[in-house]
Structure 1
Amino acid sequence: MSATPPVLALPEASDDLSARLTDGLERVERMIHERARNDDEFITEANLHLAQAGGKRFRPMLTMLIAELGEGVNDAVVAAAAGVELTHLASLYHDDVMDEADLRRGAPSANARYDNSTAILVGDLLFGTASDIIADLGADAVKIQAQTFIRLCSGQIRDDRPCPAGQDPREYYRGVLADKTGALVATAARYGAMYSGSSPELVELATEYGERLGIAFQLADDLIDISSESGETGKTPGTDLREGKRTLPVLNALASTDPADAELQELLGSQLKDPARIDRALELLRAHPGLAAAREETLAMGRDAVEALAPLPASDAKEALIALMEGVVHRVG
């Protein structure tokens, strides 16, 4: 079994809270490895390929933190967190096939390590494993898992297609982000509240915080792909541009009516495959007001997430959730 990923930096968390989070994540990690094992050694290896490649375990940590607002972490909270993380991991197998990716978390992607068919089937298997875990939590959890899966897949489908005629491309993209990323992060938070004995009001509050945090997380990814330098994040800058994805900074630049943006808009409107043209597009985007506007929208979404927590009394867990938001919107990788 791989080592438990370190808890994300939460400077507002007390030593006791950090210790409980670490213990909870270790339990989640053990469950992921136990439930991903199969009698066939190849299937076990493929199931665990991305889990062992690392990752922040952002979603299960959110489940643990939200549980701290209630009665704390228990077996049901751990199971819910493991189910959410396996759902996330499963989606990465499918993402890498769609994106024709070669690397994931610094390791060969599943489709590169094996092949597309295997990667798709392993993703399906992990979705099944996640659902099997969630089913033990009862009918409500199963319903939420199904609804989340519908939104996640709908978001991915729409992300892979152009904005329909007559719709605002930026509004369309915000809806894509809410479904493809916000939905699962919202469910991670919702489960943390549900299975720690929280009130219906707290469950609703936690879900709203999670959805907004998930959108902010994906918006930050948009920024990182443009503003990071090679080697800074382990990712190649401009990956979204190469794949033809129109993220928020790109959409902002395309919406400009300033004649000075003609060169950038020509680059963004073409298939960017030539490294020199990609580098030029990145240079122009980094200096464009559309990037600053996207950054401000990311920060505003983070503030909206924290606003959802306003009715809660002060606590170590609340401060840690605020710190988590700050880490999400200001991260560089």
Structure 2
Amino acid sequence: MNAAALPPPAPTSVRREASPSRSAANPSETEAQLLAEVVELIGGDLAACERIYADELASAHPAVRDVRDHVARYRGKRLRPILTLLAGAACGEVNDKHRTLAAVVEMVHAATLVHDDVLDGADVRRHVATVHSRWNPRTAVLFGDFLFTHAFHLAATVDAAACRAIGAATNAVCEGELTQIHERGNADLTEAEYFAIVGGKTAALTAVSAELGAVHAGADEATVEALRSYGEDLGVAFQIADDLLDLVGEEGCVGKSLGSDLSEKKLTLPLIRLRDRLPEGESQQLKTLLADPPADARERLLPLLQRTGALESAVATARERAAAAVARLDELPDSDAKRLLVRLARFSVRRTF
């Protein structure tokens, strides 16, 4: 099984009145099609976010500009700024605060990517060299810091509450990463401990991205909490899908170094499920393999993951969290922005990139 074989979610009857052919959950929908519709709705706001991002990171130093321009090549699909802008549109109207905060959450995310690549020893991200492999770890660490400091500098232009919310999320990201480092090599990691790590290192930033969109559109407390919970559930689903890609994805398609979880001795959900489904003797053999993973560990684990159903079990959990994210949106009135939030959640668990 590879990532492309992840079963698509069941279709829904929600449609745009203006375009009946656009299903809210099209099983054959591609990433490009979904992003095209996002751009159609909030493209001007995304462009403004990009300008704010570029202006904030302007530098007179060529060495800094070099790294900045390189990192721009693997910043990804801008999920977090898209969440801020779509949440704002779903709760009211997008304004300048949304555009600025969308740039802020993207800077924080970019900083975590640069630092993560150092921690994981990854050489490739989105088909280009990582900062530490092209330059050196010192450059990567300092440039990640540069992104963090600029993010908070920019957030301060909005209001103190936004700074506190982003600060709390960034604290959770760092705590999640620190905990994950501490638990490396722990073959007895529990599911509860795994989800606590994921809730910090990934879901905290997607949660605050959606929350900020609601807050700065003037949404009531219940709606703000619904959007925050939507972002949290989406972030967990997204991370489980990422863990699956690390085990069964194809590097040429995914565009980043794979197998890093194994090499770094991180126990992810599919491996936890595998461990708990194996008989005692085989479970102990698995722990021995994970303690010192050989070069062909991915290939050796795949038949076990398939035979025990651990792979499909993890896929099912990712889909459940995506469905939970969609259910959070019941708080919102129907709109194009809401429909796109629904589709983003569902698409997050059938990525092939």
TM more than 0.5: yes
Q: Give the counterpart letter for 2:192 in structure 1.
A: E
Partner of 1:281: 301
**Partner deviation per Cα, 1:142-162 (whole Å, 9 max, x = no partner):** 111211111010000011122
Q: Of the two structures, which has the highest relative contact order with CA contacts closer than 8 Å and spacing of 6 or more?
A: 2
Q: Give the counterpart letter for 1:318 in structure 2.
A: K
Q: Give the counterpart letter for 2:331 in structure 1.
A: P
C-alpha distance in 1 between matches for 2:287 and 2:163: 47
Q: Is 2:334 the partner of 1:332? A: no
The match for 1:10 among 22, 34, 41 is 34
Q: Secondary structure at the match of 1:310?
A: helix
Partner of 1:3: none
Alignment of 1:1-333 (within 5 A): 9-10=33-34, 18-162=39-183, 169-258=190-279, 261-262=282-283, 265=286, 268-275=289-296, 277-333=297-353
C-alpha distance in 2 between matches for 1:115 and 1:163: 24
- The change in CA–CA distance for 1:175 and 1:258 in structure 2 (over 3 A counts) is same
Displacement of 1:328 in angstroms is 0.4
C-alpha distance in 2 between matches for 1:243 and 1:191: 34
Task: Tell me how many residue pairs correspond in the alignment.
Answer: 324
Q: Secondary structure at the match of 1:269?
A: helix
- The change in CA–CA distance for 1:86 and 1:54 in structure 2 (over 3 A counts) is closer
CA contact (8 A) 2:184 2:265 kept: no
Displacement of 1:264 in angstroms is 6.4
Q: Secondary structure at the match of 2:266?
A: coil
Displacement of 1:104 in angstroms is 1.5
Displacement of 1:331 in angstroms is 1.2
Q: Secondary structure at the match of 1:185?
A: helix
176-185 or 233-242, larger mean C-alpha shift? 233-242
Displacement of 1:266 in angstroms is 5.1
CA contact (8 A) 2:189 2:267 kept: no
Under a length normalisation based on structure 1, what TM-score does the superposition of the two structures give?
Answer: 0.89
CA contact (8 A) 1:96 1:111 kept: yes
Q: Give the counterpart letter for 1:232 in structure 2.
A: C
Runs of 5+ unmatched residues, structure 1 = 1-5
Displacement of 1:274 in angstroms is 2.5
Q: Give the counterpart letter for 1:134 in structure 2.
A: A
C-alpha distance in 2 between matches for 1:186 and 1:216: 12
Q: Secondary structure at the match of 1:137?
A: coil
Q: Secondary structure at the match of 2:352?
A: coil
C-alpha distance in 2 between matches for 1:180 and 1:247: 13
C-alpha distance in 1 between matches for 2:137 and 2:288: 31
308-317 or 114-123, larger mean C-alpha shift? 308-317
C-alpha distance in 1 between matches for 2:185 and 2:164: 30
47-56 or 135-144, larger mean C-alpha shift? 47-56
CA contact (8 A) 1:267 1:281 kept: no
Q: Give the counterpart letter for 1:28 in structure 2.
A: C
RMSD, aligned α-carbons: 2.5
- The change in CA–CA distance for 1:269 and 1:54 in structure 2 (over 3 A counts) is closer
CA contact (8 A) 1:83 1:130 kept: yes
C-alpha distance in 2 between matches for 1:164 and 1:102: 22
CA contact (8 A) 1:163 1:172 kept: no
C-alpha distance in 1 between matches for 2:222 and 2:190: 34
C-alpha distance in 1 between matches for 2:306 and 2:134: 34
CA contact (8 A) 1:250 1:268 kept: no
C-alpha distance in 1 between matches for 2:31 and 2:316: 27
Q: Give the counterpart letter for 1:10 in structure 2.
A: L
Q: Give the counterpart letter for 1:323 in structure 2.
A: R
Between the two proteins, what is the percent identity of the paired residues? Answer: 33
Q: Give the counterpart letter for 2:128 in structure 1.
A: A
